Amino acid sequence: MQFKVESRIGVVAPPERLWSFIADLASWDQWNPVETGVSGAVGYGGAVSLTERIPGLPERVVTAKVSDWTPNSQLVWVEKRGFLFTVARFYEIETLGPENCILANGVIYSGLRGELAFDKQKKAIKPAVVAISEALKAAAEG
């Protein structure tokens, strides 16, 4: 079973502009209020490392693998938390027109303990993914 927290927001910018912020992992500190110190490679199987600072939850270091990516469209990485559950982190861009798109970002919990982790963290995670959406929108439109 999967449990998802997601934020969707309209952005007045071309998808390539949004993607330029998402794909440049080293610059996330400049716009992302939650995921900082990001390093790694955008590509299948690429490793991603970052510090996650979600208000109301302990700060933690995340190490994950890119499981899917499509330039100007999506980035997904998966973090295995033991053998009991996984957390997939995603950024998706839906093109509406040459200068307009929808940005979605969120977290999907799955596995045996995914429901328990989701229940404990969902109240803190929703405002965090909304803050990320708003910050990325502001950066892309600015």
Q: How much of the chain exceeds pLDDT 90, in percent?
A: 75
Q: How far apart are CA 73 and CA 123, in angstroms?
A: 27
- In the CATH hierarchy, which fold is given to the domain comprising 2-141? Alpha-D-Glucose-1,6-Bisphosphate; Chain A, domain 4 (3.30.530)
Please report the pLDDT score of residue 99 as a whole number: 95
Residues with Cβ within 8 Å of residue 137, at least 6 apart in sequence: 9, 10, 11, 103
The helix (run of H) or strand (run of E) holding residue 101 is strand 100-110
- Residue 58 phi, psi (nearest 5): -65, 140
pLDDT tens digits along 47-75: 999 999 999 989 999 999 999 999 999 99
Region 19-42: what's the mean pLDDT? Answer: 96
The structural domains of the chain, with segments of one domain joined by +, span 2-141
Please report the pLDDT score of residue 118 as a whole number: 60
pLDDT tens digits along 80-98: 876 677 889 999 999 999 9
pLDDT tens digits along 87-130: 899 999 999 999 999 999 999 988 766 565 666 677 888 999 99
